[in-house]
Amino acid sequence: MPERDPSEFRPRPESSSTWIVAGVVAAGLAAGAAWWFWWRPAHAPAPAAVVAAPPAEAPVPAASAPATEASGPQNLVEVQPVADPLPPLAESDARVAAALNELLGAQKVASFLQIDGFVRRAVATVDNLPRPQAPSRMWPVQPAPERFTVEGPADAQVQTIAPANAARYHAFVTFAESVPMDGAVKLYTQLYPLFQAAYQELGYPKGYFNDRLVAVLDHLRAAPEPNGPLHVQLTQVHGEVPSTRPWVRYEFADPKLEALSAGQKMLVRMGPDNARRLKAVLAELRRRVATGGVANAAGER
């Protein structure tokens, strides 16, 4: 399935669960931070644009599309009862916001999350992270502060990601680690019907969101952890309409890294320490939501 445009979700507000703060937030938060640092308008004089030719046959990232639908869910979610019936997906924002504020605190929620349409945002982001593109307007998280910086001569074709970039992600990583997993997963199981409804609405009427989540968590945890400096290069982004002020973006100079999925590249860009800490959060989340025997065995590796 192609990435969903956020315009498909805006007319209908949505809801969410706190658990996503640990999972999608650990993954999507990495995403949210990346856009402002990876893309920027091309201001003259800019380094000469280096258009890196993509690999002849770029490998398809694992879990880039949902597996063939089985006869039933592989990772069954036992929905927890709630005192009040869940509202429809389109009317659940207020309830979800209240639950998130109670679990995490209003200040953290305001600082890190996009409450408006959170369930649809979270579901779309989970589905897109193993793909080449994960559109930023769908993320359930706020962009990280400051700007992406590189080291090396301004006119060099290849530069290096500045080590100081990793510090921009520290606050988010600490936030993801602070999410009380027991309460978060419990809330996830209570609100799971909303996530399932959003997943089916996304275009998978016979699919199961929790199965997709487990597959995506495995995919993100498999992101490489390269040693040493990461080299990048500026590439102009050409649209259908010529522009006098084109956009440029940084791409990895290493074709193998550039061929990674959107989610795996986000983890690599965060720096090895941040990536390892977030992978630990993802592993703990997976341990709790992967209820199938095969899925649990894979998670123990």
Please enumerate in sequence order all residues whose Cβ is within 8 A of that of 115, keeping only pairs 6 or more positions apart, or say none.
16, 93, 96, 97, 100, 109
pLDDT tier at 34, thresholds 50, 70, 90? very low
Q: How far apart are CA 147 and CA 39, in angstroms?
A: 10
Q: Flag the least confident range among 17-31, 71-85, 167-181, 204-218.
A: 17-31
pLDDT tier at 128, thresholds 50, 70, 90? very high
pLDDT tier at 257, thresholds 50, 70, 90? very high
Q: How far apart are CA 99 and CA 198, in angstroms?
A: 19
Q: How far apart are CA 13 and CA 130, in angstroms?
A: 25
pLDDT tier at 260, thresholds 50, 70, 90? very high
For the segment 191-250, what is each residue's pLDDT rounded down to a tens digit? 899 999 999 999 999 999 999 999 999 999 999 999 889 999 988 766 555 555 556 788
Q: What percent of the chain has pLDDT over 90?
A: 39
Sheet containing 150-151: order of strands: 39-41, 247-252, 231-237, 159-161, 150-151
Q: How high is the pLDDT of residue 247? A: 62
184 or 34: which carries more pLDDT confidence?
Answer: 184
Q: What is the mean pLDDT of residues 273-287?
A: 96
Do the Cβ atoms of 121 and 8 come closer than 8 Å?
no
Reference 283, options 272, 293, 275; nearest CA is 275
Kindly tell me if the per-residue pLDDT of 274 is higher than 90: yes
Q: How far apart are CA 294 and CA 301, in angstroms?
A: 12
65 or 264: which carries more pLDDT confidence?
Answer: 264
Q: What is the mean pLDDT of residues 146-160?
A: 87
- CA 58 centroid distance within chain: 21
For the segment 87-124, what is each residue's pLDDT rounded down to a tens digit? 999 998 888 889 888 888 999 988 888 888 888 999 99
The pTM of this model reads 0.75
Query: Which of the 8 DSSP states describes residue 141?
Result: B
Q: What is the mean pLDDT of residues 173-197?
A: 91
